[in-house]
Amino acid sequence: MRLECNNLNFTYPDSDVPVIKSLSFSMETPGFNAVFGPSGVGKTSLARLIAKMESNFKGNIDTRGMDTILYSYNLERLPGWSSTGNHLDRVTPEGKQPLKDRLIDIFELKNILPARFSKLSMGQQNRINLVRYLLQDFSLLIMDESLANVDEKLRESIILSIKNLFADKMFLYISHNLMEVSGFCRDILVFGKPSGNKGCSIIQGRDYKKGYQPDKEALDRTMLEIMNAI
């Protein structure tokens, strides 16, 4: 399993300004990785390129050993004609019923399954959306702000459980939460500010697992390193 970009350049068809310029990085083993940076630096564009939702780029994206790449994002919706529970049942592949039940417990969704999607809060909507992605077969799941509006405690529990349940999969977590990214992610691709000419760099996060003992100094060091890279 390998995600590697070499000299990647991308400009949207209706624009003259490149969103991604000469980006090169590689992430080689399964795990919970992150893309971090200020708004508008090209995190979502990179995610869409990796998920093959955009073509027309220059350079090379190597996704060797990854058969299925999924891209989930904040503000996705489920159709409104049926309850979220029904929708979840319909998209659950055969044999994944126990996993579905487990995820429903972890994501604390049991009480909201009879409700329609439009009746849920934004955090509940994002959680139910992420669960349906986790139920699919995938090698790499890109989570673009997929846990936005979820409270911090539940978010931590969800991330740690995902790392535990899907240890053989690769994740690319896009978030603006510095502490969360520094603590829970392994390889962190940091985009520098476009005006700062710093480019991109990979920083090692703390990669906390279930039952971790927080090391405040090490976490502060990682956070400082990320801030310096921006």
Q: What's the rounded Cα separation, in Å, for the pair 18 and 10?
A: 6
Retrieve residue 227's tokens. Answer: 């801030």
Nearer to other proteins, 25 or 133 (CB): 133
Strand partners, 6: 60
Name the minimum Å distance from CB 75 to other proteins: 6
Name the minimum Å distance from CB 89 to other proteins: 13
Instruction: Give residues 111-170 in contact with other proteins (rule: CB under 8 A).
Output: 111-112, 114-116, 118-121, 124, 129, 132-133, 136
Place of tokens 């710093």: 198
Retrieve residue 70's tokens. Answer: 């999924």
Q: What's the rounded Cα separation, in Å, for the pair 64 and 61?
A: 9
How many residues interact with other proteins (rule CB under 8 A)? 29
**Alpha-carbon distance values, 195 to 23, 84, 135, 199 (Å):** 16, 44, 40, 10
Name the minimum Å distance from CB 103 to other proteins: 16
Three-state SS at 148: coil
| CA-wise closest residue to 88 among 19, 134, 46, 50 | 134
Name the minimum Å distance from CB 211 to other proteins: 32
From residue 69 to residue 108, what is the string marking binding to other proteins with x (rule CB under 8 A)? Answer: -xxxx-xxxxxxx-x-------x-----------------
How do 170-174 and 20-27 pair as beta strands?
unpaired
Residue 41 sits at φ, ψ, to 5 deg, of -90, -10
Q: Does 1 bind other proteins (CB under 8 A)?
A: no
From residue 12 to residue 51, what is the string marking binding to other proteins with x (rule CB under 8 A)? Answer: ---------------------------------------x
Name the minimum Å distance from CB 167 to other proteins: 22
Q: Residues interacting with other proteins, by CB under 8 A?
A: 51, 53, 70-73, 75-81, 83, 91, 111-112, 114-116, 118-121, 124, 129, 132-133, 136
